[in-house]
Structure 1
Amino acid sequence: MRIRDIIEGKKEWRAHVARVKALPQDYQIVYKEIQKYLFKVGPVELTEGTGLLSGIIDLFEEGAALGRGVLEVTGSDVAAFCDELIKDSKTYADIYQESANQEVNKAIKKATDKTK
């Protein structure tokens, strides 16, 4: 990664954070919880720019402009809202599961080969 890319990434992130801070307080609170949730659950593409997170801000800005409360936008189960957003995304949990399964299969194959 070049220095210019790092600088551009920081500029994009600062602009992203400024958009969050411009949201009404209830939207900011829910956005931060969504962000924490997504960082823990980990859709792989979440770390590639701010695409998904920016999309959430777009949705929140629209909801706020229409005078809707944040839970009218997300529903009362914010985790379910997040899960729905990433349902077709590959997560770090998926990668870990695949890796674990591959390791088990290798170990079983190796053990089976030794008994032949």
Structure 2
Amino acid sequence: MGIQDIIEGKKQWRAHVARVKTLPPDYQIVYKEMQKYLFKVGPVDLPEGPLLPEIVDFFEEGVAAGKGVLELIGDDVAAFCDGLIKDSPTYAEIYQQSISGKPRS
């Protein structure tokens, strides 16, 4: 990864954060909790992948439709996040496989 890639990545991240800041406060709170949870659980492709921008897209559509954030995702933020990443490899799974000696599938 070169310096230009790092600079471009930072620009994209700042643009993403700016989009989040345009959401209503309740959406921002839920997004930040989702982000924290997802960074903890660790889908391997989270930093470069499309998941976080897609969540913002989804939230922007919800705002445009006049829906509350919990109408979109339900009361259990973690369960909603788990549903989003159910088919994605996570760092926890990779670690479990490494200590159990099982190859990744």
**What TM-score results when the alignment is normalised by the length of structure 2?**
0.94
What does residue range 1-116 of structure 1 map to in structure 2 within 5 Å? 1-49=1-49, 51-102=50-101
Secondary structure at 1:88 match in 2: coil
Residues 7-66 of structure 1: CA distance to partner in whole angstroms, max 9, x if unpaired? Answer: 1001000000000000000000000000000000000010225x1000000000000111
Q: Please report the RMSD computed on the Cα atoms of aligned residues, expressed in angstroms.
A: 1.1
In the alignment, structure 2 segments of 5+ residues that lack a partner are none
Larger Rg: 1
Larger helix share, 1 or 2? 1
- Count how many residue pairs are aligned between Structure 1 and Structure 2: 102
- Deviating beyond 6 angstroms after TM superposition, the runs of 4 or more aligned structure 1 residues are none
Matches of 1:34 and 1:3 in 2, distance apart?
29
Equivalent residue for 1:111? none
Task: State percent identity of aligned pairs.
Answer: 74
In the alignment, structure 1 segments of 5+ residues that lack a partner are 104-116
AA of the residue aligned to 1:38: L
AA of the residue aligned to 1:27: Y
